[in-house]
Amino acid sequence: MATKRKSETGQFETTRGNGGETHQQIPADARHDEANHLTTNQGIHVSDNQNSLKAGLRGPTLLEDFVLREKIFHFDHERIPERIVHARGSGAHGFFELYEPLSDITRADLFQRAGEKTPVFVRFSTVAGGAGSVDTPRDVRGFAVKFYTKQGNWDLVGNNIPVFFIQDAMKFPDLVHAVKMEADRAYPQAASAHDTFWDWASLMPESTHMLMWAMSDRAIPRSLRMMQGFGIHTFRLVNEAGKSTFVKFHWRPKLGIQSLIWDEALKLQAADNDYHRRDLFEAIAAGQYPEWELGLQLFDEAFAASLPYDVLDATKIIPEEILPLKIVGRLVLDRNPDNFFAETEQVAFCPANIVPGIDFTNDPLLQGRLFSYLDTQKSRLGTANFHQLPINAPKCPAMNFQRDGQMQMHVPKGRANYEPNSLGEAGEIGGPRECPVTGFRTFENAQGHSEQGEKLRIRAELFADHYSQARLFWASQTSSEQAHIASAFVFELSKVSLEQVPPRMVGNLMNVDQALAGRVASGLGLGAPHRNPAARAPVALAPSPALSIQQNMKKTLEGRHVGILIADGSDAKAIFNLVEALNQAKAKPFLVASRIGETKLSDGSAIRADGQLLGSPSQMFDAVAIILSKEGAATLVREAAAVQWVMDAFGHLKAIGHDASAKALLDKAGVQDDAGTTDLTSFIKAAGRRYFDREPKIRMLA
């Protein structure tokens, strides 16, 4: 028989059976602590959480063991179906603060009072990969913001790229099926470099503009804190008088835009699968709160009609040089989730969640999204009551006559579950009622009459222009950025085994830029490219410097990580001075050594490194410094990981600061002197940027 006895110390209780000890040791004084007593989900105290109920010592487990059944049942259902797209995500809480009232253009409550803060939850994500994929593939990044306003929840569900692959939601399942793992082999994961995606893309000229963005450095951001966000679609803002203004939403990061080098992104996948997630979490935990400003592009019907493209086409932008942004507020993320599953995984975004003063347009991609998201969240979270989960619940009162359903967490009172009704007490109404004054009113057609016409499966005429804005994007990039785009096309298409696909894709690129098409064709070993017919002749659009990352990078160390390579004998004063200077620049210094244990410095003191050389490769940092004694340099010159550490930093176009003794290691790594390789006194000034003019000397690009 199983018995219970006190341990020899009298402080713990242990359960034993004939087979030996089977119960963990538990403090005896915890047995009667009601606040810490283990219970079932029904609140029933559990006496034994180690052994199932059996018929006899070695008999079968009994079906009546409700503790076992509940525990296993819950475990079996701990994982919910992951999102079909945007499965891998990272989230944070924060607030939106308005700079100035916008009551002249919208009645939305969160835009009425300067200085007022609205709680938000933001989720960033990759699109193609599953929940277990990595953070740094070439991919679009989701940028979804849930505003908990006083009028209800508003979900601004966008991406880090302002356009999309398709114009009509009808094509969304095809896009996702094509870019996801191939149906017969279930690979590749989180990658577009395969047959089915490029077969589809080459047959869909409307995707060309988005492909230019996806092949650019925009698709490999340095950090979630350093990427832009866009609402993508044209929406409406509506004021109290019912006047409508078209709007496009932009998020601008305070730290500036920065991306990775392709080789760097590949190596980060091996070095740290959670690179972006860790970067976001640690920045918030350290009080370095990520911040964006909200910019609005505001325009009317007349302006929209004057453009050579359709503002309802999600594959088009309005360049900022033509329509500047009006900066109206800031977004600050200042709190990490308490529980990843309960918040980041269960948060449910839906573009249909809008508040009075914000409304939709007839963008056919947006119209499809309004249906799709609600249906998806119900399927994924298993109940029509997913809005009752704390992360999804509005922070203002929510009252209606919707009842029951799976996982109903509210307990409605009263007899009335319908409306209208006359079941209220004397002088009262029987539940909530509609209000035409404060309620949401859908914007009516500007001409004052309903839109009508034949029932057609067709797109507006200007939607047929698939190449003008792709040309605009290409012409707006620096020569370095253009080389990255051409090289990305070569890399991706080199992974395609279908012979007809690369020439077809290059034929589409001929409509963007002949030189681009030639570079891609040459990189793939194809003959002279032939132009595919365009459904509508492209028009000339002026370049937009705002579309270039390199032309808009901030030369700053704020929010950046700097690796400092040290060894025994390194100059203690130099290390201290550099760390102090980096802290003043609001950068994060990170000491790297051959071992985590203490490193003895020149003054006899010892310092513990933050990371080991093999586990902290230079691709994890924005800039690096190397402080070594002659003996330390002589040792690291023979260490392959140290040589590779420096080679990668140089190859990834980063600033490299060094003292005199470290020069031997730089020489071994093949580092050539340029503006980005400096002594320690000049390092801080040099470290706030990448050195793209170095790239042609060290890497062959298309």
8-60 pLDDT tens trace: 333 333 343 434 333 344 444 445 556 678 888 787 888 888 888 888 877 78
Query: Do the domain assignments include residue 515?
Result: yes
Could you report the per-residue pLDDT of 498-545, keeping only the tens digit for each? 999 999 999 999 999 999 999 999 999 999 999 999 999 999 999 999
pLDDT at 35: 66
d(CA 486, CA 515): 10
Strands (E), 89-238: 89-98, 117-126, 141-149, 152-159, 229-230, 235-238
pLDDT at 303: 98
Query: Do the domain assignments include residue 417?
Result: no
Query: In terms of domains, do 147 and 187 share one?
Result: yes
**How far from each other are the two terminal CA atoms of the chain, in whole angstroms?**
77
Asked if 149 and 110 count as a contact pair (C-beta separation under 8 A), the reply is: yes
Could you report the per-residue pLDDT of 53-88, keeping only the tens digit for each? 888 877 788 878 888 888 777 777 878 899 999 999
d(CA 560, CA 554): 11
Instruction: Name the H helices within 382-424.
Output: none
Secondary-structure percent of the chain, ordered helix, strand, coil, rounded to 5: 30, 20, 50
d(CA 481, CA 554): 16
pLDDT for 579 beyond 80 = yes
CATH number of the domain where residue 44 is located: 4.10.91.20
Count of the separate structural domains present in the chain: 4
Instruction: Name the H helices within 455-612.
Output: 468-475, 479-494, 501-509, 514-524, 572-584
Catalytic residue among 93, 153, 159, 233: 159
Q: Minimum mean pLDDT among 65-69, 71-75, 548-552, 554-558: which range?
A: 71-75
Instruction: Output the CA–CA distances (angstroms, integers) from residue 239 to 361, 397, 584, 594, in the order listed.
Output: 16, 23, 45, 62
pLDDT at 27: 46
Side-chain-side CA neighbours of 143 within 13 Å: the count stands at 28
Query: Do the domain assignments include residue 685?
Result: yes
Tell which of 519, 550, 581 closes a domain: 550
- At residue 121, the 3 state secondary structure works out as strand
DSSP code, position 137: S
Query: Do the domain assignments include residue 409?
Result: no
Tell which of 339, 355, 388 closes a domain: 388
Query: In terms of domains, do 69 and 108 share one?
Result: no
CB atoms within 10 A of CB 648: 22
pLDDT at 450: 60
d(CA 75, CA 88): 21
pLDDT for 1 beyond 70 = no
Query: In terms of domains, do 501 and 597 share one?
Result: no
Catalytic residue among 18, 45, 51, 86: 86
Asked if 522 and 489 count as a contact pair (C-beta separation under 8 A), the reply is: no
Side-chain-side CA neighbours of 371 within 13 Å: the count stands at 7
pLDDT for 164 beyond 90 = yes
pLDDT band at 234 (very low <50, low <70, confident <90, very high): very high
The residues, any chain, with a CB within 8 Å of residue 296's CB and separated by 6 or more, are 247, 248, 249, 250, 325, 326, 328
Report the run of H or E that residue 646 belongs to, with start and end: helix 640-651
Query: In terms of domains, do 171 and 287 share one?
Result: yes
- At residue 32, the 3 state secondary structure works out as coil
Could you report the per-residue pLDDT of 268-294, keeping only the tens digit for each? 999 999 999 999 999 999 999 999 999
Query: Do the domain assignments include residue 396?
Result: no
pLDDT for 243 beyond 70 = yes
pLDDT for 613 beyond 90 = yes
Query: In terms of domains, do 101 and 155 share one?
Result: yes
Cα-only R_g, the chain: 30
What's the sign of the alpha-carbon dihedral 61, 64, 68, 73? positive
d(CA 525, CA 473): 26
Query: Do the domain assignments include residue 55?
Result: yes
Query: In terms of domains, do 514 and 535 share one?
Result: yes
CB atoms within 10 A of CB 499: 8
- Measured in degrees and rounded to the nearest 5, phi and psi for residue 593 equal -140, 170
Instruction: Name the H helices within 653-693.
Output: 663-668, 680-686
The range of the structural domain enclosing residue 487 comes to 469-550
pLDDT for 549 beyond 90 = yes
pLDDT for 207 beyond 80 = yes
Pairing of strands 611-612, 588-593: parallel
Side-chain-side CA neighbours of 162 within 13 Å: the count stands at 22
Query: In terms of domains, do 101 and 174 share one?
Result: yes
Asked if 330 and 97 count as a contact pair (C-beta separation under 8 A), the reply is: yes
Residues 311-333: what's their mean pLDDT? 98
CB atoms within 10 A of CB 100: 13
Query: In terms of domains, do 243 and 288 share one?
Result: yes
Paired strand residues for 590: 563
Is the pTM higher than 0.85?
yes
CATH number of the domain where residue 127 is located: 2.40.180.10
Query: In terms of domains, do 41 and 118 share one?
Result: no
Query: In terms of domains, do 33 and 106 share one?
Result: no
Residues 382-396: what's their mean pLDDT? 92
Query: In terms of domains, do 497 and 584 share one?
Result: no
Query: In terms of domains, do 72 and 98 share one?
Result: no
Query: Do the domain assignments include residue 300?
Result: yes
Q: Would you call 532 a catalytic residue per the annotation?
A: no
pLDDT at 455: 73
CA 665 from centre of chain: 37
Structure tokens at 56: 């006899």
Q: Would you call 159 a catalytic residue per the annotation?
A: yes
Asked if 107 and 239 count as a contact pair (C-beta separation under 8 A), the reply is: yes
DSSP code, position 202: H
- At residue 319, the 3 state secondary structure works out as coil
Query: Do the domain assignments include residue 384?
Result: yes
Structure tokens at 547: 């579309």
Report the candidate in 701, 664, 250 with the shortest Cα–Cα distance to residue 484.
701
d(CA 197, CA 176): 9
Paired strand residues for 96: 118, 331
pLDDT at 67: 80
Asked if 607 and 575 count as a contact pair (C-beta separation under 8 A), the reply is: yes
- Measured in degrees and rounded to the nearest 5, phi and psi for residue 44 equal -85, 130
Tell which of 320, 354, 388 closes a domain: 388
**Phi-psi bin for 5: left (phi > 0), alpha (psi -120 to 50), beta?**
beta
Residues 329-335: what's their mean pLDDT? 98
